[in-house]
Amino acid sequence: MSQINVTRSSMPLYEEYCEEIKDLWESHFLTNMGVKHKQLQAELESYLDTSHVTLYTNGHLALENVIAALGFPEGGEVITTPFTFVSTTHAIVRNGLVPVFCDINDVDYTMDVTKIEELITEKTVAIIPVHVYGNLCDVDAIEAIAKQHNLKVIYDAAHAFGVSRKGVNAANFGDASMFSFHATKVFNTVEGGAVTFSDDGLVQKLNDLKNFGIRNAESIAYIGGNAKMSEFHAAMGICNLRHVDEEIQKRKTAVEQYRKRLSGIPGIRLCSDQADVKHNYAYFPVVFDGYKYDRNAVFAKLGEHGIIARKYFYPLTNNIECYEGYPTAKVESTPTAYYISERVLTLPLYADLSKEDVDRICDIILN
């Protein structure tokens, strides 16, 4: 039996990519915001229906840079979720800010908006929620709280490419959003990422920060790093963007098959589609909550059959060794996140996952 990985990167046809990069052999212009970079940026602004897209080498540096660009005072507190990839928490701490962990809700696993206000102090500067698994946060409630307390909102939208609510793309919520174009995401540029935002004043700053702060050969405006997307990565993005809608459609078909097989089973909890939301079917999380086998047993059993699921997200970022000394890093303060992280598995999901493979996975789980 062949192995099934939790994900499989989307790729264009080999010939399509070769055709796309052909002109780079004429121009010898390989990076530094060239033709492909400009084209991908414009195409994403259109696809995501948003005013500004700034491209990055990866999603993590995109998040670090947008936090830096908003210029928070050192030691400021940022309300965030521990139910995420370490990148979210690292980006806050690496900017000299303090993560304050808010619990998640029990339905879609995004930030529990009823728990945000009690965490706000005079030091709070921002909220960084995550559209986890592509499930949108309660953006209206978060916006209302942020407005009332004069806080910035940056969404970690790494999972939310192509997601929209009532026709508004996820790229347009909060002060800014970060997308990851890592190989494992719904849309990839191999490695890559972006910040989306509407404030014209951020354009120059973000461009400066990803290119050493260089304005021109004799003017260095900021102490920036290097996080530029190369022409080869941008070319991969141009190709993959042509097929992403079709890929999302295929993911949906696989999800529907999973739901057909696994819904209504006592002790197995699935996420359902959110009202008014067009989903991207980025992940298929399953919570084993009183099922005849626990999460770890299912994980091990799948592994014996060559099926690689993922304990995602486990452990919580407030329960990992590098944050041990942080006063706010306590799982007791985020009981729902802790509960879910102990019981969740994301099952294999990618565009070309066949109905037979989904059935094989479900057969192993169910018997």
Ligand X SMILES: *Cc1c(COP(=O)(O)O)cnc(C)c1O
Which residues in this chain contact ligand X in the complex, by CB under 6 A?
58-60, 84-85, 87-88, 130, 156, 158-159, 180, 182, 193
Cβ proximity to ligand X: between 211 and 257 the closer is 211
Cβ proximity to ligand X: between 97 and 365 the closer is 97
Cβ proximity to ligand X: between 85 and 299 the closer is 85
CB 110 to ligand X: min, Å: 11
CB 87 to ligand X: min, Å: 4
In sequence order, what are the residues at sequence separation of 6 or more whose Cβ sits closer than 8 angstroms to the Cβ of residue 296?
none
Cis link prior to 73 (omega < 30° from 0)? no
Task: Output the six-digit token pair for 230.
Answer: 């190369």
Cβ proximity to ligand X: between 227 and 351 the closer is 227
CB 169 to ligand X: min, Å: 18
CB 92 to ligand X: min, Å: 12
Task: Output the six-digit token pair for 65.
Answer: 């840079």
Identify the three-state secondary structure at position 103. coil
CB 218 to ligand X: min, Å: 32
Token pair 């197995």: residue: 268
Cβ proximity to ligand X: between 77 and 156 the closer is 156
Cβ proximity to ligand X: between 157 and 268 the closer is 157
By the 10 Å C-beta count (0-12 exposed, 13-18 middle, 19+ buried), 71 is classed as: exposed
Q: How many helices (H) and strands (E) does the chain have?
A: 11, 15
Cβ proximity to ligand X: between 70 and 227 the closer is 227
CB 344 to ligand X: min, Å: 14
CB 153 to ligand X: min, Å: 16
Cβ proximity to ligand X: between 125 and 157 the closer is 157
By the 10 Å C-beta count (0-12 exposed, 13-18 middle, 19+ buried), 270 is classed as: middle
Cβ proximity to ligand X: between 5 and 294 the closer is 5
Partners of 100 in the beta sheet? 79
Task: Output the six-digit token pair for 323.
Answer: 């944050």
When CB distances to ligand X are compared, the closest residue is 59
Cis link prior to 181 (omega < 30° from 0)? no
CB 149 to ligand X: min, Å: 24
CB 56 to ligand X: min, Å: 8
CB 49 to ligand X: min, Å: 22
Report residue 367 CA to chain centroid gap: 33
Reference 18, options 238, 201, 230, 188; nearest CA is 238
| DSSP-assigned letters across all residues of 143-199 | HHHHHHHT-EEEEE-TT-TT-EETTEEGGGSSSEEEEE--TTSSS--SS-EEEEE--
Amino acid 107 reads: V
- Alpha carbons 99 and 81: distance in angstroms, whole number: 9
Task: Output the six-digit token pair for 150.
Answer: 């004069």
- Alpha carbons 51 and 44: distance in angstroms, whole number: 10
Cβ proximity to ligand X: between 193 and 224 the closer is 193
